[in-house]
Chains A and B, each alone.
Chain A
């Protein structure tokens, strides 16, 4: 059996096995190197898998040789390939830049444990993206969440502990809801495999438990995905976590939850529940619009940069959900492209903030004053990522905004309302990105209020700068040559909605 056919399993196994080994690696930088290498290998595997998924092929892999639906099936299609690409890419880039700031934050003795937790989180997220089994999703969700709580709690001050605790409570509630829903579906169908579930649901006569299950699953995952108004844990978690952890989780963790939400609602339920499409849209579309408006409005007035970007994420998740709630091919394609492109933009932005924060200490807008003079490259990358968040042409954000607006305009009068909300959100993005950029370039350093400590500028770690520019470069690359994410999204949307035909 060739190694290539084992790639779906290796996608999870590599980070999961390297994690305990990392704990044993004492000595400066060793644990970091091992974690980065494992993550880079996971990224390489994701790229290899994406190449096959681009043809529209679906790879099915039976864990332990047990055939589906009895055994656990790993199932790779375009949607999961896109998520794997995003997750492993974000993890690799943020690990690449993480060495110095994490070494400073954790100290040499706790460093290996931190990187082990990181790899476990990565393995969990990859597992969610690639598994074809509903209960397996729950297991991986718990694995990744528990590890993420650890990563967030490693934040520089004590607020990180309350943030991690809030996230833990909310995350556990969400996961429990999900499990209740899966249990109900299992009760009615006797299977946990997504594809099998979808087929067997058609034969279920009594649909009320399924409707209840759909409710539990949607709410539980909406909590995990921080969909407005269940987003309250997110700004705290993002702003208190270590900067590079924020990069990692902001780029992919909520998207992975959304991925499961879309997979369940569209792949499993959509064709089987009468009126599900209408319920899904009429319930989630207003929440999405509210999320866009409220998230944007808070971001416009927020003065802590990380919280500002976190509220922007709430708005951006609204865009994704809005696209999905249109329930047609164009909307779903837009939503999935947005997942990817927003991950790129927000990851690069948080990475730039991480680089800046190594010198400015504080995270308020005033702390960034004038930093561009000492750190022109970091500031320039931040401008590019900000442009992508706004949707300036030439960046990835433009592509997704174009697709979303185009999908909205196909929806008739209500679509115009949605389009207006999207445009309003873009204008707000312009305002809050500008609130970061202007002090960065034109502020005077006297404006700094970093707890009395004056900002000391030393060179940014070259690896962090490299990771940042790779991320910023990806925003431009996928803005000018968007074929890969867009065609993956189209395939994924067709797969999700294939049952409607």
Chain B
């Protein structure tokens, strides 16, 4: 398979899969077989691109010109490769999990659920491989629109109100801030392509740089930098597989991935390092990290707490990218992976608890470890990774971000990481302690472990979280190219 074909296929497979899933509406077994098969085929297709990209190739696919100078085109670079591998690989696990979860909870509209999921993955591939801002923007909006029915899945008035917040914030920021930012970029640089080292050097200076950066960072609402973060807790009304893959991995990573890409390939680290007007980003992301952790401390609902934890963790990536040193850039990309493994495990566990026992609140989790040992073991691993305790993936990325911060003596970043680690421990450790060691309420009836498909899925991701501590060399090799820019 040529790389160009592989790019096209990775966009087409989930899109065609959506049709096939819709056609298999009345036959659930076939429908879910198709989902898993498409996920496997997608991951395999994306994997064929990997060796070439690691060897320094940058395969391209050109679809056509939209307006003079602006084309719909794709080009694979290390960051996008990583994001595509991550999303497509975890989609397989998530599909297995979805089968257990959706059947275990007898959810309605299951076909619509799988169809929208497949479309969302097609959009994710488009974002990952986009060669320019306009192509990226196109798929960014498709991702927003295709995930809306997933968030509004339950269809009651409470869910619809939350889904309105979700869609409203994401669309309003993208139309109101991101689109003007892209057009501004185009009008000063005459191009919107992602180029290593940036395209704005020499054509934009002074306070304009900081302002344009603000339009981008807040326009990319999916990155959930405060104050445009409210859509993420609102999205927690969705079924848990949606929260797990989309709102811990695909959608939110689309946000930080885009911000990182804009910093590296539109502004260029050189330009941002020269311009003091762009320094605010460190402070904004540091504030988001700390504020989100403090809000997470006060949450009673497990999924909402995880959502605020995600907001904080996303800003780690943005802060790392904003530190601008080579090691921090590596840290930013690795943190996307480490957080993805850890957080999807946590959401899988939250969904497992809900499926087995219908529990959603933190204070209901006392002593649940004895009933659901597999789930809570995975939860513990995920939580330790969030805190950054070895031997989990979270330790590796925090290590690199800290090292990057020391490279430029960025004390704001260093302070934020230390304090936030303490805060993370403060809201995760009591849950773990209570789950394993507290006495359960004797009146509660026992419910046992979650369905097998769920347990299998969360075990895989928990193992991945542990495994990333030991086997992170391929990712480092892939992202080494970022250091040279």
Nearest-CB residue, chain B, relative to A392:
B141
What does DSSP make chain A's interface, helix, strand, loop or mixed?
Answer: helix
Q: Does B67 sit at the interface, judged by CB under 8 A? A: yes
A433-450 interface code vs B (CB 8 A; 1 in, 0 out): 010001000100000000
CB neighbours (8 Å) of B137 from chain A are 393
Known contacts A423-B180, A438-B160, A394 near B168 by CB under 8 Å: no
CB neighbours (8 Å) of B66 from chain A are 399, 480, 482
CB neighbours (8 Å) of B184 from chain A are 409
CB neighbours (8 Å) of B141 from chain A are 392-394
Known contacts A392-B141, A423-B180, A442-B160, A430 near B64 by CB under 8 Å: no
Nearest-CB residue, chain A, relative to B184:
A409
Total A-B contacts with CB atoms under 8 angstroms apart? 64
Q: Does A390 sit at the interface, judged by CB under 8 A? A: yes
Nearest-CB residue, chain A, relative to B66:
A482
A403-436 interface code vs B (CB 8 A; 1 in, 0 out): 1011001100000000100010011001000100
A388 CB to nearest B CB, Å: 12
Q: Does B155 sit at the interface, judged by CB under 8 A? A: yes
B306 CB to nearest A CB, Å: 26
Q: Does A70 sit at the interface, judged by CB under 8 A? A: no
CB-CB contacts below 8 Å: A293-340 with B: none
Cβ-neighbour of B164 out of A392, A402, A438, A480 (below 8 A): A438
A257 CB to nearest B CB, Å: 28
B263 CB to nearest A CB, Å: 22
B31 CB to nearest A CB, Å: 19
CB-CB contacts below 8 Å: B164-212 with A: 164, 167-168, 171-172, 175-176, 179-180, 183-184, 186-187
Q: Does A481 sit at the interface, judged by CB under 8 A? A: yes
Please tell me the number of chain B residues within 8 Å of chain A, measured between CB atoms. 27
Q: Does A401 sit at the interface, judged by CB under 8 A? A: yes
CB-CB contacts below 8 Å: A41-72 with B: none
Cβ-neighbour of A442 out of B145, B152, B168, B171 (below 8 A): B152
- Report whether B134 and A393 are in contact in the complex, using a CB–CB cutoff of 8 Å: yes
Complex Cα–Cα for A478 and B138 (A)? 14
Cβ-neighbour of A423 out of B64, B164, B168, B176 (below 8 A): B176
Q: Does A97 sit at the interface, judged by CB under 8 A? A: no
Complex Cα–Cα for A392 and B175 (A)? 8
Complex Cα–Cα for A401 and B176 (A)? 12
Complex Cα–Cα for A403 and B134 (A)? 13
CB-CB contacts below 8 Å: A258-281 with B: none
CB neighbours (8 Å) of A392 from chain B are 141, 145, 171, 175
Cβ-neighbour of B67 out of A402, A405, A423, A438 (below 8 A): A402
- Report whether A410 and B183 are in contact in the complex, using a CB–CB cutoff of 8 Å: no
- Report whether B187 and A394 are in contact in the complex, using a CB–CB cutoff of 8 Å: no
CB neighbours (8 Å) of A426 from chain B are 175-176, 179
Cβ-neighbour of A405 out of B65, B167, B183 (below 8 A): B183
Complex Cα–Cα for A434 and B161 (A)? 12
Q: Does B20 sit at the interface, judged by CB under 8 A? A: no
- Report whether A430 and B175 are in contact in the complex, using a CB–CB cutoff of 8 Å: yes
Q: Does A486 sit at the interface, judged by CB under 8 A? A: yes
A366-388 interface code vs B (CB 8 A; 1 in, 0 out): 00000000000000000000010
- Report whether A486 and B67 are in contact in the complex, using a CB–CB cutoff of 8 Å: yes
Known contacts A394-B138, A442-B152, A442-B160, A419 near B180 by CB under 8 Å: yes
Q: Does A343 sit at the interface, judged by CB under 8 A? A: no
Nearest-CB residue, chain B, relative to A401:
B179
CB neighbours (8 Å) of A8 from chain B are none
Complex Cα–Cα for A438 and B168 (A)? 12
- Report whether B179 and A427 are in contact in the complex, using a CB–CB cutoff of 8 Å: no
Nearest-CB residue, chain B, relative to A424:
B176
B113 CB to nearest A CB, Å: 16
Please tell me the number of chain A residues within 8 Å of chain B, measured between CB atoms. 27
CB-CB contacts below 8 Å: B146-160 with A: 152, 155, 160
Complex Cα–Cα for A392 and B167 (A)? 13
Nearest-CB residue, chain B, relative to A406:
B183
CB-CB contacts below 8 Å: A176-209 with B: none
Complex Cα–Cα for A452 and B152 (A)? 31
Complex Cα–Cα for A481 and B65 (A)? 8
A214-230 interface code vs B (CB 8 A; 1 in, 0 out): 00000000000000000
A326 CB to nearest B CB, Å: 13
CB neighbours (8 Å) of A155 from chain B are none
Complex Cα–Cα for A401 and B66 (A)? 13
Known contacts A434-B168, A438-B160, A409 near B176 by CB under 8 Å: no
Q: Does A391 sit at the interface, judged by CB under 8 A? A: yes
Complex Cα–Cα for A482 and B172 (A)? 25
CB-CB contacts below 8 Å: B22-75 with A: 64-67, 72
Cβ-neighbour of B175 out of A391, A399, A438, A482 (below 8 A): A391
Cβ-neighbour of A406 out of B164, B175, B176, B187 (below 8 A): B187
CB-CB contacts below 8 Å: B295-309 with A: none
B406-433 interface code vs A (CB 8 A; 1 in, 0 out): 0000000000000000000000000000
Complex Cα–Cα for A387 and B138 (A)? 12
- Report whether B142 and A399 are in contact in the complex, using a CB–CB cutoff of 8 Å: no
Complex Cα–Cα for A403 and B167 (A)? 25
- Report whether A409 and B152 are in contact in the complex, using a CB–CB cutoff of 8 Å: no
- Report whether A405 and B180 are in contact in the complex, using a CB–CB cutoff of 8 Å: yes
CB neighbours (8 Å) of A409 from chain B are 183-184, 187
Nearest-CB residue, chain A, relative to B164:
A438
CB-CB contacts below 8 Å: A450-492 with B: 480-483, 486
Complex Cα–Cα for A410 and B172 (A)? 24
A408 CB to nearest B CB, Å: 9
Complex Cα–Cα for A271 and B44 (A)? 63
A422 CB to nearest B CB, Å: 9
CB neighbours (8 Å) of A393 from chain B are 134, 137-138, 141
CB neighbours (8 Å) of A405 from chain B are 179-180, 183
Complex Cα–Cα for A419 and B172 (A)? 15
Most chain A CB within a 10 A radius of its CB, from B134, B145, B175, B187: B175
CB neighbours (8 Å) of B152 from chain A are 442
- Report whether A427 and B172 are in contact in the complex, using a CB–CB cutoff of 8 Å: yes
CB neighbours (8 Å) of A419 from chain B are 180
- Report whether A442 and B155 are in contact in the complex, using a CB–CB cutoff of 8 Å: yes
Cβ-neighbour of A430 out of B138, B171, B187 (below 8 A): B171
Complex Cα–Cα for A409 and B66 (A)? 20
Complex Cα–Cα for A393 and B142 (A)? 8
- Report whether B176 and A427 are in contact in the complex, using a CB–CB cutoff of 8 Å: yes
Nearest-CB residue, chain B, relative to A403:
B67
CB-CB contacts below 8 Å: B369-394 with A: none
CB neighbours (8 Å) of B175 from chain A are 390-392, 423, 426-427, 430
A179 CB to nearest B CB, Å: 40
Nearest-CB residue, chain B, relative to A409:
B187
Complex Cα–Cα for A390 and B64 (A)? 23
Complex Cα–Cα for A419 and B215 (A)? 14
CB neighbours (8 Å) of B183 from chain A are 402, 405-406, 409
A369 CB to nearest B CB, Å: 12
Nearest-CB residue, chain A, relative to B187:
A409
B62 CB to nearest A CB, Å: 14
CB neighbours (8 Å) of A438 from chain B are 160, 164
A415 CB to nearest B CB, Å: 10
Complex Cα–Cα for A486 and B72 (A)? 16
CB neighbours (8 Å) of B65 from chain A are 483
Complex Cα–Cα for A419 and B186 (A)? 15
A299 CB to nearest B CB, Å: 16
CB neighbours (8 Å) of A403 from chain B are 67
B129 CB to nearest A CB, Å: 16
22 A-B Cβ contacts within 8 A?
A387-B145, A391-B179, A392-B141, A392-B145, A392-B171, A393-B134, A393-B137, A393-B141, A405-B179, A405-B180, A406-B186, A406-B187, A419-B180, A423-B176, A423-B179, A426-B179, A427-B175, A434-B167, A434-B168, A482-B67, A483-B65, A486-B67
**Closest 5 CB pairs between A and B?**
A393-B138, A405-B183, A409-B187, A442-B160, A426-B175
Having A392-B141, A430-B175, one finds 8 other A-B pairs with CB under 8 Å, namely: A390-B171, A394-B142, A399-B67, A406-B183, A406-B186, A423-B175, A426-B176, A434-B168
